[in-house]
Copies of this chain bind each other. A is one copy, B any other.
């Protein structure tokens, strides 16, 4: 049973905002993690649609017992503009997944999704070192995953997105880090050791798969960023093809420790 102490007047708040919001798991995981670290703190879900970001950020920023923010789709790009300071990864991508207060009350941003995704793959059997990886999706999460895969030592990184412009922009952003290892490509996993879905395809059961399932082979490790849906259609197809898999819930688990460390380390 997920029982916790109820909120009090002294509870510190860490809203998680995005749209849709009902599938997120951090309110449970992050709140239990905070309590385990002796904090009277709570992560609460707040549904914030694309056009509502500006009034939301202006409103939440004037509430001093809001110590941190967890950011999910569709806000990871735009939320960065509300940060006075940020980590190197967040500044490279202009993307944030978390914010905490600076001493003056302004926001410090970071992007933890990439490392969390790669950690989840490794925890479940993937070996990114020397691997050839196909990355599907060059949005907020995809961009961070690209950086983390390169930092984890992939040999070759093929990036696919419905927007070729988005892929080009990402390739430019990571060019110095990639050193020739990254390129644009089709959604074809043939010859790859890792297939990484960083698109929202799979959130709706009627979505087509982001790759052709008949091309999956048992030597491939397939990961998905989508959380709260247990085994997505992609991961079911991967499992049936004999692949190792890691789902979005595994990524959410991996990110918890990293996020708690970030939030409780108040120095910028």
A residues near B (Cβ < 8 Å) are: 1-11, 13, 17, 21-25, 27-28, 31-32, 42-49, 52, 55-66, 228
Q: How far is the CB of A61 from chain B (nearest CB, A)?
A: 8
In chain B, what residue has the closest Cβ to A5? B2
A11: chain B residues within 8 A (beta carbon): 27, 44-45
Knowing A55-B59, A59-B60, A62-B56 are in contact, say whether A10-B22 is a contact too (CB < 8 A): yes
The one of B3, B13, B49, B61 in contact with A6, judged by C-beta atoms closer than 8 angstroms, is B3
A63, closest chain B residue (CB): B46
CA of A49 to CA of B47, assembled, Å: 24
Q: List 5 other contacts, CB 8 Å, given A6-B32, A56-B63.
A: A8-B27, A8-B45, A49-B62, A59-B59, A59-B60
Docked-complex contact B47 and A52, CB < 8 angstroms: no
A31 touches B9 (CB 8 A): no
Q: A47-B65, A63-B56, A65-B46 are in contact. Are A228 and B5 (CB under 8 A)?
A: no
How many copies of this chain does the complex contain? Answer: 2
A27 to B12, CA, bound (A): 12
The reply to whether A9 and B32 form a contact with Cβ atoms under 8 Å apart is: no
Whether B62 contacts A7 by the Cβ 8 Å rule is no
Q: How far is the CA of A57 from the CA of B63 in the complex (A)?
A: 11
Chain B minimum-CB-distance residue to A29: B6
A-B contact pairs, 18 of them (CB 8 A): A2-B5, A6-B28, A7-B27, A9-B22, A9-B24, A13-B44, A13-B45, A13-B46, A45-B65, A46-B65, A46-B66, A47-B64, A47-B65, A49-B62, A52-B62, A55-B55, A56-B59, A56-B63
Give the chain B neighbours of A13 by CB distance below 8 A.
Answer: 44-46
In the complex where A59-B60, A64-B47 touch, is A6 in contact with B8 (Cβ < 8 A)?
Answer: no
- In contact, B5 and A3 (Cβ under 8 angstroms): yes
Contact assessment for B28 and A7 in the assembled complex, using a CB-CB cutoff below 8 Å:
yes
Complex Cα distance, B46 from A2, in Å, reads 24
Cα–Cα, bound, A48→B3 (Å)? 29
CB distance from A2 to the nearest CB of B (A): 5
